[in-house]
Amino acid sequence: MAYVNGSVGGGVKDLYGEDSATEDKLITPWSFSVASGCTLLRDPRYNKGLAFTEKERDAHYVRGLLPPAVYTQDLQEKRLMHNLHQYDVPLHRYIALMDLQERNERLFYKLLIDNVEELLPFVYTPIVGEACQKYGSIYRRPQGLYISLKEKGKILEVLKNWPEKTIQVIVVTDGERILGLGDLGAQGMGIPVGKLSLYTALG
């Protein structure tokens, strides 16, 4: 599993801040290589949710696919923190954070960076241990690569299936000793996912 840090929005210094470049340009640079419309909104790397400006909604053909309100990243962050505080069960906060990561990576990392002390236990230890134990029941979509005995002699082919080409960090686990919980097998994927979230957010 690997996440890629790249500049967005015309080289805005704050990678997770607002895309100020669109105030001067009709179309942001990354739009030339990213699909528009529903496909754009379903791509967690580029989806900004309600932070898309009026110009961006027209340029990327997402007008009408989102509620009409425009919320800044900061406002969305405050609303999300309020929502997270409504969950009394720690695992539910973990699930909510992972759901956000799968929808809007930009907002997920902004939330994590700005509230790292509070959210760290929900992204990694200790909650990730329980998440791994229940990974099969809270599974949302594929994350990372699974290399089993069935892939013997085909590891290179498996690695080529990963969609990202610029990879900066790789975390590998055999799932045998997950936080002292024993062999969790494929459900141990929560560990590399959590570690890479922290590595990406904290550098």
Distance CA 64, CA 85 (A): 30
Let me know if residue 13 belongs to a domain: no
Let me know if residue 178 belongs to a domain: yes
Confidence check: pLDDT of 15 > 80 = no
125 shares its domain with 186: yes
**Residue 92: burial class (beta carbons within 10 Å; 0-12, 13-18, 19+):** middle
Query: To the nearest whole number, what is the mean pLDDT of the chain?
Result: 83
pLDDT digits (tens, 9 = 90+) for 39-52: 999 999 899 999 99
Distance CA 79, CA 92 (A): 17
- Catalytic position from the list 71, 124, 139, 165: 124
pLDDT digits (tens, 9 = 90+) for 93-138: 999 999 999 999 999 999 999 999 999 999 998 999 899 899 889 8
Let me know if residue 4 belongs to a domain: no
Confidence of residue 54 (pLDDT cuts 50, 70, 90): very high
**Which residue segment(s) compose the domain that 55 sits in?**
20-59
132 shares its domain with 47: no
110 shares its domain with 45: no
28 shares its domain with 122: no
pLDDT digits (tens, 9 = 90+) for 171-191: 888 878 777 788 888 888 998
51 shares its domain with 81: no
85 shares its domain with 51: no
Distance CA 191, CA 181 (A): 12
195 has catalytic annotation: yes
124 has catalytic annotation: yes
pTM over 0.85: no
pLDDT (mean) for 74-95: 96
86 shares its domain with 139: yes
* Whole-number pLDDT of residue 185: 85
135 shares its domain with 39: no
pLDDT (mean) for 2-21: 40
25 shares its domain with 54: yes
- Residues 6 or more apart whose CB falls under 8 angstroms from that of 7 comprise 15
State both tokens at 181: 């919980």
- What CATH number does residue 186 fall under? 3.40.50.10380
Let me know if residue 152 belongs to a domain: yes
Alpha helices for the chain (secondary structure H): 37-41, 54-59, 73-84, 90-103, 105-114, 116-123, 127-133, 135-138, 155-160, 190-202
pLDDT (mean) for 72-101: 96
- Let me know: does 121 contact 127? Beta carbons within 8 Å: yes
Distance CA 65, CA 110 (A): 24
Number of domains in the chain: 2
Q: Which of 32, 59, 86 is the last residue of a domain?
A: 59
Let me know if residue 15 belongs to a domain: no
- Catalytic position from the list 61, 87, 195, 199: 195
DSSP assignment letter at 24: T
